[in-house]
Every structure is written in structure tokens, then in C-alpha cells.
Structure 1
């Protein structure tokens, strides 16, 4: 959650955002790489790749449309996975700010979303007044729309 600290520092905010996006891209690639490889190999095999005999080369050359369609679907899956990973990270960040806001406002009766990070949440709450934490959370919500 160093991102929360960096996001609150103007000189580090853009770099922190870039790191968040890069992390989401890496997560998406890790989640989809094996599937993409398997689908590509499946299609190539179905189209005659690795085969011997008359017509196997021509079959592959004639399959560019199917390969392009697979590439389009692959890009859509990767884009969706990237957006989902980024969304999860942003929701996690927003709930982190929420917890810090609760601590800063002394709302002890409300259950924290990140009880495992109580020390970090307390440090953020001590670092930023409730108004600033609320503004940070509001900015996230505006960007989410």
C-alpha cells in the first residue's frame, strides 16, 4: 500500500499511477499467457500445422482470417483481464483510504476492510487529516466513473 502514500505526494502520484497500471498489465499477462499459448497451438494444429503431406502449407496460408480472429479475441481477453486487475487494485486502494478515514474520524464501531493492515492504516490516518482522506477517496470514485 505504498501506492496510497505515493498517491498523496504530488511529485510521486503519476509514477505511482504508472506502476499501478504496469502491475495490472503484468497480472493480466500472467493470467492469460498460458491460455493464449494453448489456444494458438490448438488452432494451428486444427489448421494443419506440423502436418506433412500435400496441402498442409496451403491450409495454413489460407487460415490467416482465423488467426486474425483469434488475435482479436486474445486482445479482448487481455484487455478485460487488465481492466479487472486494475479495478481490483483501485478498489483495494479505496477501501484502504476508507479504513484510514474511519481511524482518523475515530469511528471505532465500524469494521475495517483491511484489519490485517491496521498499522499501515493508522500511519496513513495519522499522516493525513480526515478531509484529505475523504478528498482522496472522492477523487478515486470520480475517476472510476
Structure 2
């Protein structure tokens, strides 16, 4: 059951991402997706395999649900959040977007534990919340870094 829900959520988020009007170019979206992807994979590897803070399921189909969440859903949620965040003008809207994104990511963590895809040993939702906030900061500052590097490039005449 967990796989079918995460499979549906994956396609839903992909569909939403392709339907919204994006503020970022395809290169900027790719850059942020890859940076987020690398950070998420490395942190999840350290938490699950090295520090044994989170136990993963041994079942193949449930593990696929974990991979969908880690490799597609979370990076695309960060991209969605950043594209919507850059459109908003007021601070209230920006805070609401960040908070909503955080709640959605925490909801995915709750679903993972509910369907026994992940099992927290020395980890909890509070740590997940901190991790997701740090991911949001990494996504935003990787965008800013990309903009700064492109602003300083030499143009050809």
C-alpha cells in the first residue's frame, strides 16, 4: 500500500511541477534539483547505513517507495517551493510557502513510518523538520550562488 501511495504522489508532484509557470530557467531548475538530490542521498545514506539512526524496510516494493520519496519527491518539492517562492511578493506568503512545504515533507515522513518503509531508531520528526529546513536553505542559496556565478560570466559580442 505504501508503494502505491508514493507512486501516486510522485506522479502528482511531477505533474504539478510541469503545469506551474516556472520562475527559474531549465538550467537553474536542473542545478537546484541536482544539488538537492546529492545532499538528500548523502544524508540519507549517512543516517541509514553509517549511523544506523533509521532502519529501512527489507521488502523490495517498499524500498522502491523509499527511493521514490528520496530521489524524486523531495527534490521536486524543493523545486516547486522555490519556483513558487520566487513568484510571491510579500513576506507572509513566503513564510506560508516555506511552512506548507515543511508540513508536506513531514507528512511524507509520517507516511513512511506509518507504512513501515522507515523505522526511526535514534531519529524523530523534529530532526526531520530541521533537515528539511536546512534542505530549503541549501536549495535557496544554491539558486543564489548560481545567479551570482552567471552574473559574473563574460559575455561574447
Range class of TM-score, shorter chain: 0.3 to 0.5
Higher relative contact order (CA 8 A, sep 6+): 2
